[in-house]
């Protein structure tokens, strides 16, 4: 099936009962350590929707987008990262939840995301120093020292967190999780990957503290464990709490695989319900280029070598995220036991009912991500990270307005969309999500 055919088929009705669901392991329910059951193995990974309204409030557009995804058949829908502090955003258009002021809209969002027996989990995050200067001149971090490399100038020098501020942020994670549960979200995912604040604490490069939050791995992981324990206490033992963690940062001297496995085991002992495996930092993003399907074919499913290493070491379910484009790869990964859930992001911004197509219709094609380009080489080069992210945000925005994704949209329109919606701030490099 070619790309355009996938595009025009989106939202077409699917003939009911075409095939039995027992035929694929992707359709099998999974019971999490907390006792909660999810209906199948599709784990829609977090994608910042960039749809927040004034003051970082959720909107009617979130409701429509998640209703579409819930209708599409995934077992779990993880929201885009929701910030615990509206003065500390990771990118323009983030939702922030600090208190109950938006409870009604959060309720509507959660209700839409849990239709058709789907789970809807809120991803909770603090960006630390990865908060662009255009929206935050005063970022916070475990230690001073800005973002390295060519993008460094887009981030202000962070202030080192005091103990009091660390305690405040831990309390904020717990508060956001408690409100998520009250609003009807059926789980939460703590974002500890992709170079954000918790990842900064874990990284020996970014964390040069001399107190109990720095130095040894045990100390660097303390912030994550404190956040996890506070969130668990806020939501109770029977509510899913997942953690998105880097397999490794992909930077010499950064948080590495041995360390990641150690952290995973400790999280398992603390009662985590699922570990969403990702990776990378600013220096080496997962969405490396705008290469689309050609890049996908070269890379295959991300982090499989790491997942093979972890297999047998953990009993907690894993969601391997990145690079899943077809049922054959998904089934192989489940059969091999290297993952228990299929973490999938970009394809669901193009084919929101991909889970139903694969489980109910046994569609055996491959979702071909297009190469996103403005057609102007220097522009492509200057905005490569933003280009791809903005293009997918534009597709989510279309679904949120009741339109179909449109694969013909070019990179220039995506950049203009980002500019129109978020102003010049959108042209600072957003975090490069899901890095390897
Ligand atoms: C537009 C966009 C926004 C993203 N936002 C987030 C996010 O908020 N939190 C997160 O953990 N990952 C985020 N990611 C990364 C994805 O969750 C995922 O790790 C990455 O896209 C690789 O998976 P895929 O190959 O299935 O797309 C984002 C990716 C895209 C394309």
Q: Is residue 349 part of a domain?
A: yes
For ligand 1, residues with CB inside 6 Å are 45-48, 80-81, 123, 191, 194, 244, 278, 286-287, 321-324, 344-346, 389, 392-393, 433-434
Best residue among 42, 44, 45, 429 to mutate for probing ligand 1, ranked by most atoms within 8 Å of CB: 45
The DSSP annotation for 358-402 comes to: HHTS----B--PPPP--S-HHHHHHTHHHHHHHHHHHHHHHHHTT
Task: For residue range 398-434, list pLDDT tens digits in order.
Answer: 999 999 999 999 999 999 988 887 777 667 665 444 3
Q: What is the pLDDT of residue 147?
A: 76
Q: Is 150 helix (H, G, I), strand (E, B) or coil?
A: coil
Task: Name which residue sits closest to atom 24 of ligand 1, judged by CA.
Answer: 322
Asked if residue 209 lies in contact with residue 142, where contact means CB atoms within 8 angstroms, the answer is yes
Q: Is residue 265 part of a domain?
A: yes
Give bridge partners of residue 410 from the DSSP assignment.
Answer: none
Q: What is the pLDDT of residue 270?
A: 98
- The sign of the CA dihedral 27, 31, 32, 34 is positive
Rounded Cα distance between 332 and 322, Å, is 15
Q: Is residue 436 part of a domain?
A: no
Place of tokens 């409701």: 63
Give me the phi and psi of 71, to 5 degrees please. -65, -25
Q: What is the pLDDT of residue 150?
A: 64
Q: How many CB atoms lie within 10 A of CB 292?
A: 17
CA of 202 to the centre of ligand 1 (A): 20
- The sign of the CA dihedral 390, 396, 398, 404 is positive
Domain residues for the domain of 273 are: 3-427
- CA neighbor of 245 nearest in space, from 225, 263, 272: 263
Place of tokens 């350590």: 33
Rounded Cα distance between 22 and 360, Å, is 10
Q: Is residue 323 part of a domain?
A: yes
Q: Is residue 284 part of a domain?
A: yes
Rounded Cα distance between 231 and 112, Å, is 24
Q: What is the pLDDT of residue 429?
A: 61
- Digits of tens for pLDDT over the chain (436 positions)? 333 334 333 333 233 334 444 579 999 999 999 999 999 999 999 999 999 999 999 999 999 999 999 999 999 999 999 999 999 999 889 999 999 999 999 999 999 999 999 999 999 999 999 998 889 999 999 999 877 766 677 889 999 999 999 999 999 999 999 999 999 999 999 999 999 999 999 999 999 999 999 999 999 999 999 999 999 999 999 999 999 999 999 888 999 999 999 999 999 999 999 999 999 876 667 676 677 888 888 888 999 999 999 998 999 999 999 999 999 999 999 999 999 999 999 999 999 999 999 999 999 999 999 999 999 998 888 887 788 999 999 999 999 999 999 999 999 999 998 888 777 766 766 544 433 3
Q: Residue 368: which CATH number?
A: 3.20.20.70
Assigned token pair, 258: 């041995």
Give the helix ranges, DSSP H, for 24-162: 60-71, 103-113
Task: Name which residue sits closest to atom 10 of ligand 1, judged by CA.
Answer: 46
**Those residues with Cβ within 8 angstroms of residue 332's Cβ, 6 or more apart along the chain or in another chain:** none
Q: Is residue 418 part of a domain?
A: yes
Best residue among 287, 433, 435, 436 to mutate for probing ligand 1, ranked by most atoms within 8 Å of CB: 433
What atom in ligand 1 is closest to the CA of residue 392? Answer: 1
Q: Is residue 434 part of a domain?
A: no
Q: Is residue 433 part of a domain?
A: no
Q: What is the pLDDT of residue 136?
A: 93
Catalogue the long-range contacts made by 255-263 (C-beta closer than 8 Å, 24 or more residues apart).
255/199, 255/202, 255/203, 255/204, 257/306, 257/309, 259/202, 259/217, 260/306, 261/309, 261/310, 261/313, 262/217, 262/221, 263/202, 263/217, 263/221, 263/224
Q: What is the pLDDT of residue 384?
A: 77
**Number of separate domains in the chain:** 1
Task: For residue range 38-92, list pLDDT tens digits in order.
Answer: 999 999 999 999 999 999 999 999 999 999 999 999 999 999 999 999 999 998 8
Asked if residue 206 lies in contact with residue 145, where contact means CB atoms within 8 angstroms, the answer is yes
Could you tell me the end-to-end alpha-carbon distance of the chain, in angstroms, rounded to an integer? 29
Q: What is the pLDDT of residue 244?
A: 98
């Amino acid at each position: 099936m070619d790309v355009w055919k996938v595009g025009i088929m989106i939202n077409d009705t699917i003939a009911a009962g075409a095939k039995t669901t027992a035929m694929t392991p992707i359709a099998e329910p999974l019971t999490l350590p907390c006792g909660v059951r999810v209906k199948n193995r599709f784990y829609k990974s977090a994608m910042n929707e960039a749809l927040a309204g004034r003051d970082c409030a959720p909107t009617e557009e979130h409701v429509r987008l998640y209703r579409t995804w819930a209708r599409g058949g995934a077992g779990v829908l993880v929201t885009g990262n929701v910030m615990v502090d509206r003065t500390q955003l990771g990118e323009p258009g983030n939702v922030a939840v600090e208190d109950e002021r938006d409870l009604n809209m959060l309720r509507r969002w959660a209700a839409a995301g849990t239709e058709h027996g789907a789970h809807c989990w809120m991803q909770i995050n603090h960006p630390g120093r990865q908060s662009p200067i255009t929206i935050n001149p005063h970022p916070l971090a475990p230690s001073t020292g800005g973002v390295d490399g060519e993008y460094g100038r887009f981030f202000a020098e962070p202030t080192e967190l005091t103990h009091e501020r660390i305690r405040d942020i831990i309390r904020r994670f717990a508060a956001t999780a408690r409100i998520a549960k009250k609003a009807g979200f059926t789980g939460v995912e703590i974002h500890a990957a992709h170079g954000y604040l918790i990842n900064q604490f874990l990284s020996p490069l970014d964390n040069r503290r001399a107190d109990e939050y720095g130095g040894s791995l045990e100390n660097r992981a303390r912030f994550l464990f404190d956040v996890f324990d506070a969130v668990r206490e806020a939501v109770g033992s029977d509510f899913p709490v997942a953690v998105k963690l880097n397999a490794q940062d992909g930077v010499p001297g950064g948080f590495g695989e041995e360390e990641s496995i150690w952290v995973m085991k400790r999280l398992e002992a603390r009662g985590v319900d699922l570990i969403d495996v990702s990776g990378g930092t600013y220096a080496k993003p997962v969405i490396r280029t705008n290469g689309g399907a050609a890049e996908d074919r070269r890379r295959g499913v991300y982090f499989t070598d790491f997942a093979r290493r972890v297999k047998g070491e953990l009993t907690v379910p894993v969601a391997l995220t990145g690079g899943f484009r077809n049922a054959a790869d998904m089934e192989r990964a489940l059969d091999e036991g290297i993952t228990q859930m299929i973490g999938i992001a970009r394809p669901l911004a193009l084919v929101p009912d991909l889970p139903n197509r694969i489980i109910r219709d046994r569609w055996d094609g491959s979702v071909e991500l297009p190469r996103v380009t403005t057609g102007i080489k220097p522009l492509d080069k200057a905005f490569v990270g933003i280009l791809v992210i903005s293009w997918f945000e534009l597709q989510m925005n279309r679904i949120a307005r009741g339109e179909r994704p449109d694969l013909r949209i070019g990179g220039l329109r995506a950049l203009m969309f980002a500019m129109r919606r978020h102003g010049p701030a959108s042209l600072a490099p957003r975090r490069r999500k899901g890095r390897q």
